Structure 1
Amino acid sequence: MAKEVLVVGAGFGIRAQFSRAPNAEVRLGRVASVDLGRKRISLEDGTQLGWDFLVLAGGAQHSYFGHPEWEEFAPGLKTLEQATEIRRRLLSAFESAEHEQDPAAQRGLLGFVIVGGGPTGVELAGAIADISRTVLVRDFRKIDPASARVLLLEAGPRILPAFAEELSRHAAEDLRALGVEVRTSAAVTGIDAHGVSIGGERIEAKSIFWAAGVQASSLSRSLGVELDRAGRVMVDADLSIPGHPDAFVIGDMAHLDEPERGLVPGLAPAAIQEGKAAARNILASIAGRPRKPFRYRDKGMMATIGKHRAIAQTGPIRLTGYLAWLAWLFIHILYLIGFKNRLSVFAQWVWSYVLSKRGARLITNRDWRLPS
């Protein structure tokens, strides 16, 4: 069998996964552009690679709705760099507030605004409230971390709109029980270094985090094919690009409307299913067999809000509270790659749960922004 070349953004986990596959080569690099006509990929270091079959899974990045300047003040949570930047800003805010003498400035430092009431925004708001009230509360002498203001802003009429209305309402109640201020129908119209604007209203906050709109990876724009409004590639039923049957797009980069269900959601289970379906269709083409259209199997959705607080739905089944929280933990561990990795994460979570401590409280200084 011919050697396959895998080009990925972060190679260690993928490299370990394919360490026993002699016909697979893993290459660390960032794809700059794709020439579908010539079947060539260009990397940022100038390297060019050819292919017989191509699978693009470039993922998604945050959309700031025509205001890219907001990213400087409100990082999202799509990459490891962005996650460490959020951690840096969060911990630095408490450190700065500890030594701030002006009460007004101190309140600004202890103000945290999360824009977007989807699963990411809800989980982030709940985590910040939980950490400030149960973990950091023991670490400072001049401030009370539990007094931090955590504000979740959602432009729509309710948070978690993809969930059943009763679950959305339950999540909002859980957030408020943690001390989070939940505001719906609150579309942000401005963001700067000192806070956010909602129409004529001004909210002062030094730490603002973005969990609102998303768009496909900028890689999709280099393809020269039809895209939807979010930059996703319009694909055929077999996940290939129209007019380019040897090139497949999956995950957050793909737009596929199923006749019965509509748009396939941008969720991890959908991306996993699409990856397997694309692989089966490639093998079918090699063997001279007909391809099969992709059919998404909806396994439900989950969102965690805080310790012992979560919601879950799968078909008619609805779960809330401790049971949903346990289900969320174990399903996330199940989707991790490798038994050793699952065991390590499970042990770390148990340790954090028993001691009510969070690990790796490092304050780093890295550029979290993605190239445009």
Structure 2
Amino acid sequence: MTDRPARIVILGGGFGGLYTALNLSRLPWTPAEKPEITLVDRNDRFVFAPLLYELVTDELQTWEIAPPFVELLANTEIQFRQASVKSIDIDRHHVHLDDEGEPLAYDRLVLAMGGETPLNGIPGVAEHAIPFRTVSDAYRVRERLRKLENSDADKIRVAVVGGGYSGVEIACKLADRLGNRGRIRIVDRHDTILRNSPEFNRNAAQQALRDRGVWLDLETEVTEVTADTISLKYREQVDEIPVELVLWTVGTTVAPVVRSLPFEQSDRGQILTNAKLQVTNHPHLFALGDVAATCDINGQRIPTTAQAAFQQADYAAWNVWASLTHRPLLPLRYQNLGEMMTLGLDNATLSGLGISLEGPLAHIARRLAYLYRLPTPEHQLKVGLNWIVEPFRSLIA
């Protein structure tokens, strides 16, 4: 054992990576055990993804849902490095970044780089469709809407590809923002929206979409996207439909640098781990979130959702700490705490733990639940105070 502190490198600043880093900083390290923790992300801001939809409707501000990493880590000893990962040398325990700095050496490595929305495979998607995963995506959508709203177009036609949570939530937000000018459609290749969600949520979503006049193209595939059309295939018939905006919310893929690693991987390219979140055959490496294929202690496959990443981050931090301080590691016990989704302005649905809510009350409950989940107490306080003051500010204005 050397005299230097252990070096923990965490790749990815999403829910899995950031919350693992923060949890690690709060664990009871002795002065002799205290490690160097470095968090790496290609962006300068953390994104609280479940609230990203509120940027499009101006319900929330960027600083509330996407605070800078340097601000979140200001009261910790966690070092932040903004860079993309070029390669990982498993044998030499080095991470090579694209910022021309020195490679990062590690004793424990946490892989939490999240997923990407695949835009290849269908003509025109990469050039003309907008994914909805980052703050930059939300800005692009908002700017495109602003131009369309300021144009003399009678109708604003939007196609949202994907009938999962993301597609349904953004469709409802867009319908409320555009009002009578909006012509929104959801395109999905399955026979129902939200096919893996509880029936209560699915029924509430279907009603919210009907109330807003959102058209559903189910059992339909996209064959091409151009600057002003989308081609849809239903059974054997292909129709070309005029459209001003296409949002792509389908699928998740892991980054190429992850796929290139010499690990056992799932058919989706995710890294296989044990229930303690250790990479198979590499006990000093941990993986969580979208890049990991993990089953908990009961054999339950962990979904790639925000709430799963929250829970994994608790275990990942504990197990990294335990592996460095010669304590027993804990296998993950995943608890499904239910699901929440926004269904437009001041409307949401919430189900889980024996509770089912929809409407304005669910909207408030969802906001409070996410306020509690914001990364640091300081940020929670700032956002919470703003949510209290903002209605009075708007009333005075």
Give, in angstroms, the shift of residue 35 of structure 1: 1.7
Matched, 1:3 2:49: no
Q: 1:301 aligns with which of 336, 339, 360?
A: 339
Q: 2:147 aligns with which of 68, 85, 92?
A: 92
Q: Which amino acid aligns with 1:84?
A: Y
Compared CA separation, residues 111 and 303, structure 1 to 2 (3 A): same
Structure 2 residue aligned with 1:111? 157
Q: 1:44 aligns with which of 98, 102, 105?
A: 98
Compared CA separation, residues 281 and 268, structure 1 to 2 (3 A): same
Give, in angstroms, the shift of residue 339 of structure 1: 4.1
Compared CA separation, residues 209 and 352, structure 1 to 2 (3 A): farther
Structure 1 residue aligned with 2:261? 223
Higher relative contact order (CA 8 A, sep 6+): 1
Question: Which has the larger displacement, 54-63 or 209-218?
Answer: 209-218
Q: 1:15 aligns with which of 70, 78, 92?
A: 70
Structure 1 residue aligned with 2:220? 186
Structure 1 residue aligned with 2:191? 157
Give, in angstroms, the shift of residue 78 of structure 1: 1.2
- Aligned residues of 2:185 and 2:216 also touching (Cα < 8 A): yes
Match of 2:313, SS state, is: helix
Match of 2:341, SS state, is: strand
Structure 1 residue aligned with 2:177? 131
Match of 1:271, SS state, is: helix
Counterparts of 1:167-206 in structure 2, within 5 Å, are 167-199=201-233, 200-206=238-244
Compared CA separation, residues 287 and 342, structure 1 to 2 (3 A): closer
Compared CA separation, residues 215 and 94, structure 1 to 2 (3 A): same
Query: What's the TM-score, normalizing by structure 2?
Result: 0.77
Give, in angstroms, the shift of residue 69 of structure 1: 4.6
Compared CA separation, residues 356 and 64, structure 1 to 2 (3 A): farther
- Aligned residues of 1:176 and 1:182 also touching (Cα < 8 A): no
Structure 2: distance between partners of 1:345 and 1:240: 35
Match of 1:214, SS state, is: coil
Q: Which amino acid aligns with 2:169?
A: E
Give, in angstroms, the shift of residue 182 of structure 1: 2.5
Structure 1: distance between partners of 2:132 and 2:87: 24
- Aligned residues of 1:225 and 1:233 also touching (Cα < 8 A): yes
Unaligned runs of 5+ residues in structure 2 are 1-33, 46-67
Compared CA separation, residues 65 and 156, structure 1 to 2 (3 A): farther
Question: Which has the larger displacement, 169-178 or 251-260?
Answer: 251-260
Identity across the alignment (%): 28
Structure 2: distance between partners of 1:114 and 1:195: 13
Match of 2:220, SS state, is: coil
Matched, 1:249 2:287: yes
Q: Which amino acid aligns with 1:324?
A: A
| Alpha-carbon displacement from aligned partner over 1:62-84 (angstroms, at most 9, x marks no partner) | 12463385122111111121111
In the alignment of these two chains, the number of paired residues is: 335
Give, in angstroms, the shift of residue 231 of structure 1: 2.5
- Aligned residues of 1:36 and 1:244 also touching (Cα < 8 A): no
Match of 1:219, SS state, is: helix
Structure 1 residue aligned with 2:324? 286
Question: Which has the larger displacement, 202-211 or 183-192?
Answer: 183-192
Structure 2: distance between partners of 1:322 and 1:88: 28
Query: What's the TM-score, normalizing by structure 1?
Result: 0.82
Structure 2: distance between partners of 1:283 and 1:339: 22
Question: Which has the larger displacement, 197-206 or 224-233?
Answer: 224-233
Structure 2 residue aligned with 1:103? none
| Alpha-carbon displacement from aligned partner over 1:214-270 (angstroms, at most 9, x marks no partner) | 122333123222222332211122111112111111111111133646320111121
Give, in angstroms, the shift of residue 355 of structure 1: 9.1
Compared CA separation, residues 291 and 346, structure 1 to 2 (3 A): closer
Match of 2:328, SS state, is: coil
- Aligned residues of 1:11 and 1:26 also touching (Cα < 8 A): no
Structure 1: distance between partners of 2:80 and 2:99: 16
Match of 1:216, SS state, is: coil
Structure 1: distance between partners of 2:328 and 2:319: 8
- Aligned residues of 2:200 and 2:351 also touching (Cα < 8 A): no
Q: 2:108 aligns with which of 36, 53, 59?
A: 53
Match of 2:116, SS state, is: strand
Matched, 1:76 2:110: no
Structure 2: distance between partners of 1:355 and 1:287: 51
- Aligned residues of 1:310 and 1:320 also touching (Cα < 8 A): yes
Structure 1 residue aligned with 2:252? 214
Q: Which runs of structure 1 show a deviation greater than 6 angstroms over 4 or more consecutive aligned residues?
A: 350-357
Structure 2: distance between partners of 1:126 and 1:203: 21
- Aligned residues of 1:73 and 1:193 also touching (Cα < 8 A): yes
Give, in angstroms, the shift of residue 324 of structure 1: 1.7
Structure 1 residue aligned with 2:86? 32
Unaligned runs of 5+ residues in structure 1 are 101-105, 134-145, 358-372
Matched, 1:120 2:166: yes
Compared CA separation, residues 257 and 189, structure 1 to 2 (3 A): farther
Q: Which amino acid aligns with 1:290?
A: P
Q: Which amino acid aligns with 2:172?
A: G
| Alpha-carbon displacement from aligned partner over 1:48-71 (angstroms, at most 9, x marks no partner) | 111000111101111246338512
- Aligned residues of 2:162 and 2:249 also touching (Cα < 8 A): yes
